[in-house]
Amino acid sequence: MRFRYRPFQAVVVAILAALITACAAFAPLYDRAMQQSLVDLTLEQTPAVTDGLQLTGVYGSSGSFGSISVPPPTPESALAKVPAAIRPYFDAPVLGYAAMVTRVPGGPEDPQGELVARSRVCGHVTMVSGRCPDGVGEIAVSEADVDNFGLVTGTTLRIAGVGSGRGHVRVPTHRLTVTGVYRQERGAYWLGQVLTGRSGVVSLVPPNIVQHDVWLTDRSTFEGGTGTLPQESSYVGMGIDPDAVGVDELLELGTAVRRLSEETRLTEQGATITVSSGLPGIADEVRDQSAQSRVTVPLLMAQLGLLAVVVLWLVLLAVTEQRRPEVALARLRGRGRRGARTLLVGELLPVALAGVVPGVLLALGGSWIARTVVLPGDAPFEVGLPLLLAVVVAVVLLTLVTVVAVVRVSREPVATLLRRVPPRRAGWGLGVADALVIAGCGSIVVVFATGGLDGPVALAAPGLLAIVVGLVLAHLTTPTAALAGSRLLRRGRVRAGVSVLDAARSPATRRVVAIVTLATALAVFSADALLVGDRNRAAASEQEAGAPMVAAVRGTDLAAVRAALGAADPDGRLATPVVRVVPPSSSARTTLAVVPDEFARIALFPGGAPSRAVWRRLAAPDTPPVRLSGTRLTADLEDSSLGSVGVGGDRRPVEVGIDVVTASGELLHVRLGDLMRPVAHARFSAELGCGDGCFVTGLTFGSLPGASIDGTVTFAPLQTDTGRYPLGPAGRWADVQDADTGVVRATGSGPDLTVEVHGTGADQVTLPQTWVPTRLAALVAGDLPPGSTDDRFTMTGIDGQEQTAARAATLPRVPASLPDTSVVNLDLALRGREVAATDQLEVWFATGDRDLLDRVTSALHDRGMEVGSVTRLADVRRTYDESTAAWSLQLAALVGGAALLIALLVLAVSAASSWRFRTRDLAALRMAGVPGRSITAMSVAAQLPAVLVGVVAGTAAGVYGAHLALPIVPLFADAPSVSTLDLDVAWGPVLLAAAAALVVLGVGGALIGRVMARRAGLPRLREGGP
């Protein structure tokens, strides 16, 4: 096929060849660009202390104050252990020493801390006063050390060295002089080391000495005659050079540093050099994500490439069919089948290969757009061996498809070749080639669907499924359309019948059905994969963050937190307090105490929040509390028969008390007095710290351990300096019947309360007020702990102690929590208990508004509380989006759009290859008197059945292909600790993609039909018409 002969078909073949080459070449280019972007982003976000390399050299005999020691190896000898091959990837090394020094004479006021020498240190601190040390014994101190210890410039002090000698060890001292006061300039130079913040702070490690900040000195202090200092070590710090490190270099660094850190490096003198770096872990993370991209990128590009190959094959078949007379003529002239093949290959293959260079350029252009627009970081332009191999594969594939298409025509008999329209199989029977393709592709799909296939072939399974569906439908469409057209004609519906029959007899109909099915399936699959990935990343982000913004609060003053929130958010609609109870062990369940209505409104629940009915199960009971107010309490006890008998049979007094909880949550036990024997009346008075009000949580009765308690007693209304407070009726109290403690029950319907006690040996029994829950309702995620009975289980209460709970409902997961978590009502959890020191207080926000955070922070600060770490949903989402898993799925949008454009191109090619025959048919109808408007309508209607059938079938094939393939597509760089995986079909995007395919291809088919109708003039009926 020469360029001057049917140039449109030549251009189409070249375009398809370029697209196939671009698909093959773009995959390694994009994959490489993602890896480089990942490295850039990782190194940018990783702290210098993690991606740097630090070496510390010490001797095994290196000791502390007063022990015998020798100098550590020099920094240069430690640096020599770093392989020369990886040194260019780091900045200039920082060499130095460090020691732990104590000011003498070593009294309580004399601080201890680090003495550090670093090369080029003067360029990384600001001297507030004085000068940077540059000689033996000169030091610079922090501003805090000046304030705390009076170490002004010019101060001279002495520090303890390391003793030497045998027997009686003499500890030398060394003089240091303060030459200046520094302020640290933060930067990568320090590799995460913070010089200040310890001045005046007592160390937690015995002997609990007061500390000073780091003192900076010159290297000569360690090497110029001071002798060995306590815990002296040499140091090498090497910050990574991001501009010098790409993905290959990072993987090399990870391997080299791991090998370096796993080996014990010993010098000739027996010194140990330890290595500290996070590079091996970073390299492993990049390697894992790179492996993920090698699944998603080929999966998407393979589908598009497969579509382009199928389209090229069908176009070449159409082209070779048009050359049948030329092939027959060559055969008749004696050139034989080989000559005929040579003729066609010589005309088709150059055109196909002419698309290779444009395809490579297209891939390079797409890679440039990806590197500069789509991907973060600054990925370099790279053309390596993978690109060359991809181009070679594309050339081989183009050559193979062209040769096979040529062989198919050249092997036909001459008599068949001389026919203008090649003979086609009629009826419902399948041809041998179609049957083989359907059987082969179908077998692969079945094996993949049953889980028996992985690797490269598995990535093409969704496309192969679409091919099977498309070929079967293409084969069924022609006889079905013929039957339908005939029936329409018999019913008198001439226009519709002629349109359907025209589609049935057109050789392009089968090709259009097959390609539209495949293209629509790819578009639907791409849309579903893209949105399913986005939906899962959004759900994982919401689960991990818990709310649009979560702020951790330092301290356990819950009352102050609630007061601050009341001041900053009076309506309580934008922020809510949450108490996270840290379990005593990693295997125990976590407890989350929340305000149910506020938490339900603010917290994020991927997959849907629990209903209001579920949250109502955490509601507080209607029983009102017993309130007290005052500073002095008087209790009158009537008709008491209480008595206690010890283990030896002797009578013991019964201690009567009352438990209260203050408005701030503080628990108080008020001891009323002892009942020595049964009495008709007893009055007790005690101090009561309830000036701001209290709630009575229980009445207590105690004796010695092992002693029994029996009897009844009646409590008259309690009296304080503010009023009388009745304890009755009995309905306000919860009876207790426990095998370990005994029986306690309340009776009485008036203001007086009668209590019956039968203690069985416990040192104290308590009658709880019903306002205090004996069993806390909980919404449970995960399995109940071992030993649970029905829905009852033991959890960690807000006070850190065990508490009985009952499962009110089951949640699939709890926001920002571990899989096994219980959610309880904060107000109920606080009744009778107080916040433990190990609990974590948090504030959950309904929005990520910084102004709101500032108001809450200010309100907390006013009440002596501070905000710690802040987690924002947007930041968490960014961490999921900035991964190769997310970047790979972005290709889906490009692939889906390209698939529809290819299908549109097929419609145009099919029309161009058969327009002469179809326009003659339409011209014949025009000569028979059919109006032009009807001819146009029939021409347009003839294009649409194949499009409609292909779109419907492709949608179904794409949905099922996504169902099969998405489980192997990596959606996350690292699987979240709490799974929110949801691979259900994203029906909205799927239907939108199907509608887009129907509109684009339907409009394209309609325009093609109108063009054919306009060209169907009567001159087309002449044999030699143009």
SS3 letters across 328-387: HHHHHCCCHHHHHHHHHHHHHHHHHHCCHHHHHHHHHHHHHHHHHHHCCCCCCCCCCHHH
Residues 135, 177 share a domain: yes
Residues 57, 45 share a domain: no
How much is the pLDDT for 433?
Answer: 57
Using pLDDT thresholds of 50, 70 and 90, give the confidence band for residue 1: very low
| 94 vs 1020, more confident | 94
How much is the pLDDT for 426?
Answer: 54
Of the candidates 211, 214, 232, the residue with the CA atom closest to the CA atom of residue 223: 232
Please tell me whether residue 521 adopts helix, strand or coil conformation. Answer: helix
Could you please report the per-residue DSSP string of 151-210? --TT-EEEEE---BSSSSPB--EEEEEEEEEEEE--SGGGTT----S-TTPBPSSTT--B
How much is the pLDDT for 1023?
Answer: 47
How many whole angstroms separate alpha carbon 231 and alpha carbon 722? 66
How many whole angstroms separate alpha carbon 272 and alpha carbon 57? 6
Query: Per mean pLDDT, which range of 426-430, 620-624, 785-789, 816-820 is the poorest?
Result: 426-430
How much is the pLDDT for 1022?
Answer: 60
Q: Is the dihedral of CA 930, 932, 934, 939 positive or negative?
A: positive
How many whole angstroms separate alpha carbon 38 and alpha carbon 36? 5
What burial class does residue 47 get, using C-beta atoms within 10 Å of its C-beta: 0-12 exposed, 13-18 middle, 19+ buried? exposed
Residue 873 predicted with pLDDT over 90? yes
Residues 40, 57 share a domain: no
Residue 44 predicted with pLDDT over 50? yes
Helix (H) or strand (E) holding 923: helix 891-927
Residues 398, 303 share a domain: yes
Of the candidates 328, 493, 501, the residue with the CA atom closest to the CA atom of residue 409: 328
Q: Is 522:958 a contact under the CB 8 Å cutoff?
A: yes
How much is the pLDDT for 495?
Answer: 58
Residues 796, 683 share a domain: no
| 938 vs 85, more confident | 85
Please tell me whether residue 527 adopts helix, strand or coil conformation. Answer: helix
How many whole angstroms separate alpha carbon 1022 and alpha carbon 589? 88
The pLDDT tens digits of the residues spanning 141-161 come to: 999 999 999 999 999 998 888
Residues 990, 888 share a domain: yes
Using pLDDT thresholds of 50, 70 and 90, give the confidence band for residue 946: confident
Report yes or no on 570 lying in a domain: yes
Residues 685, 599 share a domain: no
What burial class does residue 385 get, using C-beta atoms within 10 Å of its C-beta: 0-12 exposed, 13-18 middle, 19+ buried? exposed
How much is the pLDDT for 1024?
Answer: 46
CA 475 to chain centre: 46
How much is the pLDDT for 70?
Answer: 73
How far CA 332 is from CA of 92, 180, 408, 413, 510, in Å, comes to 80, 104, 18, 11, 31
Calculated CA dihedral for residues 938, 941, 943, 947, nearest 10 degrees: -170
How much is the pLDDT for 450?
Answer: 63
DSSP assigned state of 969: S
CA 955 to chain centre: 30
Report yes or no on 198 lying in a domain: yes
Report yes or no on 255 lying in a domain: no
How much is the pLDDT for 437?
Answer: 59
Residue 520 predicted with pLDDT over 70? yes
DSSP assigned state of 734: -
Q: Is 941:999 a contact under the CB 8 Å cutoff?
A: no
Residues 336, 322 share a domain: yes
Report yes or no on 550 lying in a domain: no
Residues 160, 273 share a domain: yes
How much is the pLDDT for 291?
Answer: 85
Query: Per mean pLDDT, which range of 63-72, 103-112, 143-152, 242-251 is the poorest?
Result: 63-72
Residues 738, 685 share a domain: yes
Phi, psi of 576 (to 5 degrees): -145, 145
Mean of the per-residue pLDDT values of the chain? 84
List the structure tokens of 896. 């889906």
Residue 711 predicted with pLDDT over 60? yes
What residue numbers bound the domain in which 637 lies? 626-768
How many whole angstroms separate alpha carbon 504 and alpha carbon 719? 100
Report yes or no on 331 lying in a domain: yes
Residue 278 predicted with pLDDT over 60? yes
* Residues ≥6 apart with Cβ < 8 Å to 89: 240, 241, 244, 245, 249, 253
What phi-psi label fits residue 864: left (phi over 0), alpha (psi between -120 and 50 degrees) or beta? Answer: left
DSSP assigned state of 852: H
How much is the pLDDT for 494?
Answer: 58
How many whole angstroms separate alpha carbon 673 and alpha carbon 939? 105
Query: Per mean pLDDT, which range of 231-245, 335-349, 891-905 is the poorest?
Result: 335-349
Of the candidates 354, 329, 908, 9, the residue with the CA atom closest to the CA atom of residue 1: 9
How many whole angstroms separate alpha carbon 213 and alpha carbon 330? 95
How many domains does the chain contain in total? 5
Residue 719 predicted with pLDDT over 80? yes
How much is the pLDDT for 534?
Answer: 94
Residues 60, 35 share a domain: no
Last residue of a domain, one of 706, 736, 768: 768
How do beta strands 590-594 and 626-640 pair?
A: unpaired
CA 916 to chain centre: 58
Q: Is the dihedral of CA 815, 819, 825, 829 positive or negative?
A: negative
Residues 514, 593 share a domain: no
Quick one: what percent of the chain has pLDDT higher than 90? Answer: 43
Of the candidates 319, 280, 288, 397, the residue with the CA atom closest to the CA atom of residue 20: 397
Last residue of a domain, one of 740, 768, 796: 768
Report yes or no on 258 lying in a domain: no
Using pLDDT thresholds of 50, 70 and 90, give the confidence band for residue 511: confident
Using pLDDT thresholds of 50, 70 and 90, give the confidence band for residue 440: low
How much is the pLDDT for 427?
Answer: 52
177-209 burial by CB neighbour count: b if 16+ within 10 A, else e? ebbbbbebeeebbbbebebbebbeeeeeeeeeb
Report yes or no on 259 lying in a domain: no
How much is the pLDDT for 910?
Answer: 73
Query: Per mean pLDDT, which range of 205-214, 303-312, 380-389, 460-469 is the poorest?
Result: 460-469
The pLDDT tens digits of the residues spanning 114-127 come to: 999 999 999 999 99
Report yes or no on 869 lying in a domain: no
Q: Is the dihedral of CA 812, 815, 817, 823 positive or negative?
A: negative
The pLDDT tens digits of the residues spanning 565-596 come to: 999 988 889 999 999 998 877 677 899 999 99
List the structure tokens of 204. 């937690």
Q: Where are the beta strands (DSSP E) in 619-678?
A: 626-640, 643-645, 651-652, 654-662, 667-675
How much is the pLDDT for 218?
Answer: 93
The pLDDT tens digits of the residues spanning 949-963 come to: 889 989 998 898 888
List the structure tokens of 310. 């199928």
How do beta strands 265-266 and 643-645 pair?
A: unpaired
Residue 360 predicted with pLDDT over 90? yes
Q: What is the mean pLDDT of residues 660-675?
A: 86
Using pLDDT thresholds of 50, 70 and 90, give the confidence band for residue 66: very low
* Residues ≥6 apart with Cβ < 8 Å to 452: none
Using pLDDT thresholds of 50, 70 and 90, give the confidence band for residue 420: low
> How many other CB atoms are there within 10 angstroms of residue 1011's CB atom?
15
The HSE-up count of residue 472 (CA atoms within 13 Å, CB side) is 13
| 416 vs 456, more confident | 416
Using pLDDT thresholds of 50, 70 and 90, give the confidence band for residue 948: confident
How many whole angstroms separate alpha carbon 887 and alpha carbon 32? 12
The pLDDT tens digits of the residues spanning 967-1026 come to: 888 888 888 989 999 999 999 999 999 999 999 988 888 887 777 767 666 665 564 444
Annotate 705-729 with three-state secondary structure. Answer: CCCEEEEEEEECCEEECCEEECCCC
DSSP assigned state of 460: T
Residue 478 predicted with pLDDT over 80? no
Last residue of a domain, one of 842, 864, 886: 864
